[in-house]
Amino acid sequence: MNIVQTLQQALSQALGAHGVVVDKNSIQLDHPADMSHGDYATGIALQYAKQTGKAPKALADDIVTALGTIEGVSKIEVAGPGFINFTLSANAVAHTLLTALSYENWGVNVYQKGKNVLIEYTDPNPFKAFHIGHLMSNAIGESLSRIIENAGAHVTRANYQGDLGVHVACAIWGIQQLGIHPESADEFGRAYAHGATAYKENTDAKSEIDTINKKLYDRSDEGINNLYDTGRKESLAAFEKIYTMLGTTFDHYFFESEAAPVGKEIVLAHPQTFVESDGARIFKGEEYGLHTRVFINSQGLPTYEAKELGVTKLKQDLYPESDQFIVVTANEIAEYFKVLKKAMEIVFPEIAEKLLHVPHGFLRLPTGKMSSRTGDVITGESLLIALAEAARERASESRADDPAILAQQVAVGAIKYQILRQANGKDIIFDREKALSLEGDSGPYIQYAYARACAILTKAGESGVVAKLDESEAPIHLTRFIYRFPEITERTVENLAPHTIANYALLLAAEFNSWYAQVQVLDETPAAPHKVAIVAATAKTLERCLYLLGIPAPNKM
């Protein structure tokens, strides 16, 4: 039982003595903003005073008396109108630091032990640009994968890529019209924009593109097949370079070309659920408070909706042991996803139970939202390269063994942190200068704090100073903050909220920098080994935070 559970149980029993029955798990404990007020605080006396007929402060005093002595807690006191504050003992904090120093996977938990989770994320479409929206999905999906693994689950990383559909036909038409070589993957975004615009504005072009689309499905035109096969291969190879840069390795790739026939078969096998309408097959979402979606169009081709049914069935067939299928996508399809899940609840209720959609907002530049259809796109790769170039000058002046690698690590840290620092569903205005700053709310700031800690540890090793924690030393703000890390990882996986770790990492880096500015670590006194131990525990915690966020942790900057 951890300290939070211990406090919850003790508080529940103390309230029970006053005739108030409370489930211990419902008792909220918060961290006071000011550590001088303790490590945990609760407002239960204010919450339940009326039931006992006592004033909140009087009830708080009685609760504190009933609590007596609690192992791991050095002080319990009443504050303000009736808050109860708890301060951890030196032994409790020291024990946690020793765990951090000795355990490689510091901060693991068992919240999802034994579970099998498949997470689908990134999902770029061949023949289109890997835009910065895909960076959003990748950053969130990769972080969630690591956070869930950290909770004891087996995670399968999946990538579902749209290699078939009107968007591909638009790109193929654009490649033909513009004379683009099918191996020039960096030109496919331009080809798609050209074709998508023509499809919307030119009826002749639309007819030609629809014809290409049918030929792509039935593989009836050798010339289009060759162009498609070559272009698809080049697109996927280009994506792999970006995945490597981002630190993601996928276990399985799903494709719309595989999902389409499966989805179409499912739709046709359930005519009462997907009814005929003007030659198409639709799902009447209005009957469930949603909206109608087309699953097979009037040309007999499966739509995105049918393909989603197909890919989910493929996931179940290939990974039947999975307890959950998580899909990370932009929140613009949230309403569409509700329709999809409702249809799935009817045709595959046992699979629908496993499906969880994690939506995210848009990553916008100060100029506004981008559109791959119009070609107004800054690709994810070009943004990473631009950030790396901006970081290269400073990296060349660092202690890094390879400034180019450091610049790329800083670039990845800059973009991922800006994505992960806030709740998943919110849009982000990406500010390059802020993202790359070594001061304040940024990924490089956390990376630099970690590198600084590593530098101190290297110097300590060269000086023969070995980290040794003095358990009799009173806890300081920094060590009390490190103590919270396992609790942070549990809260993060419970809520699937990477921003919890991102915010904690920023505050931990700030606490470390503040402490380091006031203390000389290697001062040739008997206290030096203890201070080195604090640095080592900080470094381990920052490293684990960065890992769970999917951000590189350079040890030299």
Q: Is residue 373 part of a domain?
A: no
Shared-domain flag, residues 306 and 449: no
Shared-domain flag, residues 343 and 405: no
Strands 73-79 and 40-42 turn out to be unpaired
Q: Is residue 502 part of a domain?
A: yes
Residue 5 reports pLDDT greater than 50: yes
Shared-domain flag, residues 216 and 324: yes
| pTM, to two decimals | 0.93
Shared-domain flag, residues 137 and 249: yes
Average pLDDT, the chain: 94
Give the residue carrying structure tokens 């209720």: 349
Q: CA 251: distance to chain centroid?
A: 18
Shared-domain flag, residues 450 and 399: yes
Q: Is residue 101 part of a domain?
A: no
Neighbours of 378 (CB within 10 A): 16
pLDDT in tens, 124-172: 999 998 988 899 999 999 999 999 999 999 999 999 999 999 999 999 9
Q: Is residue 534 part of a domain?
A: yes
pLDDT band at 375 (very low <50, low <70, confident <90, very high): very low
* CATH number (domain holding residue 128): 3.40.50.620
pLDDT in tens, 389-415: 999 888 888 888 899 999 999 999 999
Residues 6+ apart with CB under 8 A from 386: 432
Shared-domain flag, residues 47 and 188: no
Which residues span the domain enclosing 487?
Answer: 380-549
Shared-domain flag, residues 348 and 431: no
Q: Is residue 109 part of a domain?
A: no
Strands 116-120 and 324-330 turn out to be parallel
* CATH number (domain holding residue 80): 3.30.1360.70
Shared-domain flag, residues 193 and 307: yes
* CATH number (domain holding residue 544): 1.10.730.10
Shared-domain flag, residues 173 and 311: yes
Q: In which order are the strands placed within the sheet that holds 154-161?
A: 252-255, 154-161, 116-120, 324-330, 355-360
% pLDDT > 90, the chain: 86
Residue 371 carries which side chain, given as an amino acid letter?
S
Shared-domain flag, residues 42 and 150: no
Shared-domain flag, residues 254 and 288: yes
Q: Is residue 99 part of a domain?
A: no
Shared-domain flag, residues 446 and 494: yes
pLDDT in tens, 504-523: 999 999 999 999 999 999 99
pLDDT in tens, 331-358: 988 998 999 999 999 999 999 999 999 9
First and final C-alpha spacing in the chain = 40
Q: Is residue 274 part of a domain?
A: yes
Query: Which range is least confidently modeled, 227-241, 248-262, 383-397?
Result: 383-397
pLDDT in tens, 439-464: 889 999 999 999 999 999 999 999 99
Number of domains in the chain: 3
